[in-house]
């Protein structure tokens, strides 16, 4: 009997420790002492790789309570190993990816999410405000109502009524703008963008879950971008939105020329709609887009000029007005431009916002 009790005790402890282990509790105590959070509430979400908890902070004795969200990455998991593909090739993590050390890996993911959030938040893209990071525990602003209910994921958003169609279209256009700003201003590709990682409230989309987001020059960023475009496009199509082709969206996002701010951004998107090839009927048009999406999704995407097979032949194609068929025509144009600009400057003052962000972190005290 005594033995049985002891076993049960052990099991209980193991279960509770799985949720918040000793180290995590210590970090939370420390954060409570410093007033980063005052109370940590129940889990908003328990995922494979992290749990998210609601929390409240009282910034000063007389101040109103502020809601926060605490994301605790799980340190005892293997699934992070799958995510290696996001980290290899990331210049910010050159020294970091030590497969053997889970705890270190998880800390890296939390750091990555924190830095990405900073960048996205400072670009004024709606997302949680990054507040503090300590090892695998990330504190951020709470996206939800005053009663402590988190905003729904876009997937679960109750969008109905007479204006529903109009609103869905508006949200689609809003998301295209966000993706372009993410790419052009933050130099990031989300890499796991879908209706599950977008929260919704009052006609506004919020981007979350950015630990796997990659730099625009990551060796696979364009592949991830194409996947993000497919996933979000599929979702909006299911809501009945007349979506642009994946290729059109891809070009819109990566093309450096053009606006990054509203309202010009939405105007450009409307122009993209207006300049679509006219078709005899909607059905034919939809079928054509479907075929084009299929082709585009299977196309080889070179990431740099070095990866382009036959640059002269491709340049010729562009000259003959067949450039539309090249996935990377904007990329080519951009690189040629930036190469020339770099050569002209040749002062070697390549900006590295990653490094600039690193030095601001100071989170691991």
| Nearest residue to the partner Mg ion, using Cβ | 209
The answer to whether residue 228 forms part of the interface with Mg ion (CB under 5 A) is: no
C-alpha atoms less than 13 angstroms from C-alpha of 233 in its C-beta half-sphere: 20
Contact 47, 119 (CB under 8 A): no
Token representation of residue 282: 């909607």
Omega before residue 354 within 30° of 0, cis: no
| Window 63-122: residues binding ligand ADP (CB under 6 A) | 69, 71
Among Mg ion, ligand ADP, none, partner that 182 touches (CB below 5 to 8 angstroms by kind): none
Which residue is catalytic, options 209, 246, 251, 314? 209
Contact 59, 34 (CB under 8 A): no
How near is the Cβ of 179 to Mg ion at its closest, in Å?
A: 17
Query: Does residue 82 have an active-site annotation?
Result: no
197 versus 293: smaller Cβ distance to ligand ADP: 197
Q: Among residues 28, 31, 36, 44, which is the contact residue for ligand ADP, using CB under 6 A?
A: 44
Which residue is catalytic, options 60, 165, 192, 349? 192
Which is nearest to 195 in space by CA: 181, 209, 183?
A: 209
CA angle at 223 for the pair 343 and 337, rounded to the nearest 5°: 20
Q: Among residues 27, 31, 36, 50, which is the contact residue for ligand ADP, using CB under 6 A?
A: 50
CA angle at 141 for the pair 135 and 145, rounded to the nearest 5°: 140
Instruction: Give the pairing type, strands 50-57 and 39-46.
Output: antiparallel
Query: With 0-12 CB in 10 A as exposed, 13-18 as middle and 19+ as buried, what is 231?
Result: middle
208 versus 253: smaller Cβ distance to Mg ion: 208
Among Mg ion, ligand ADP, none, partner that 307 touches (CB below 5 to 8 angstroms by kind): none
The answer to whether residue 47 forms part of the interface with ligand ADP (CB under 6 A) is: yes
235 versus 296: smaller Cβ distance to ligand ADP: 235
209 versus 246: smaller Cβ distance to Mg ion: 209
Query: Does residue 364 have an active-site annotation?
Result: no
The answer to whether residue 174 forms part of the interface with Mg ion (CB under 5 A) is: no
Q: Which residues bind Mg ion (CB under 5 A)?
A: 197, 209
Catalytic residue numbers read 192, 209
């Amino acid at each position: 009997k005594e033995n049985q009790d002891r076993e049960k005790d052990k099991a209980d402890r193991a279960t509770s420790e799985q949720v918040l282990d000793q180290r995590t509790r210590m970090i939370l105590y420390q954060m409570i002492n410093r007033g980063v959070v005052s109370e940590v509430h129940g889990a908003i979400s328990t995922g494979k790789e992290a749990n998210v908890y609601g929390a409240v902070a009282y910034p000063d004795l007389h101040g109103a309570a502020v809601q926060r969200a605490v994301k605790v990455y799980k340190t005892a998991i293997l699934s992070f190993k799958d995510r290696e593909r996001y980290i290899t090739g990331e210049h910010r993590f050159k020294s970091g990816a030590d497969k053997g050390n889970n705890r270190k890996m998880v800390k890296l993911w939390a750091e990555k999410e924190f830095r990405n959030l900073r960048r996205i938040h400072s670009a004024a893209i709606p997302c949680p405000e990054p507040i503090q990071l300590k090892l695998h525990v990330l504190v951020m602003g709470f996206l939800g109502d005053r009663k402590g209910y988190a905003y729904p994921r876009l997937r679960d958003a109750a969008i109905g009524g007479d204006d529903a169609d109009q609103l869905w279209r508006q949200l689609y256009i809003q998301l295209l703008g966000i993706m372009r700003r993410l790419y052009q201003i933050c130099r990031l590709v989300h890499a796991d963008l879908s209706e599950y990682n977008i929260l919704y409230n009052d006609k506004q989309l919020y981007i979350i879950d950015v630990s796997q987001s990659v730099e625009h020059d990551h060796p696979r960023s364009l592949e991830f971008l194409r996947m993000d475009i497919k996933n979000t496009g599929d979702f909006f199509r299911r809501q009945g939105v007349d979506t642009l082709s994946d290729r059109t969206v891809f070009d819109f996002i990566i093309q450096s020329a053009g606006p990054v701010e509203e309202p010009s951004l939405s105007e450009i998107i409307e122009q993209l709609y207006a300049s679509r090839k006219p078709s005899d009927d909607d059905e034919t048009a939809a079928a054509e887009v479907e075929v084009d999406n299929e082709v585009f999704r299977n196309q080889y995407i070179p990431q740099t000029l070095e990866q382009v097979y036959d640059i002269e032949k491709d340049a010729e194609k562009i000259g003959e007005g067949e450039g539309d068929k090249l996935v990377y025509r904007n990329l080519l144009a951009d690189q040629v431009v930036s190469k020339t600009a770099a050569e002209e400057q040749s002062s070697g003052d390549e900006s590295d916002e990653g490094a600039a962000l690193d030095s601001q972190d100071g989170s691991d005290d």
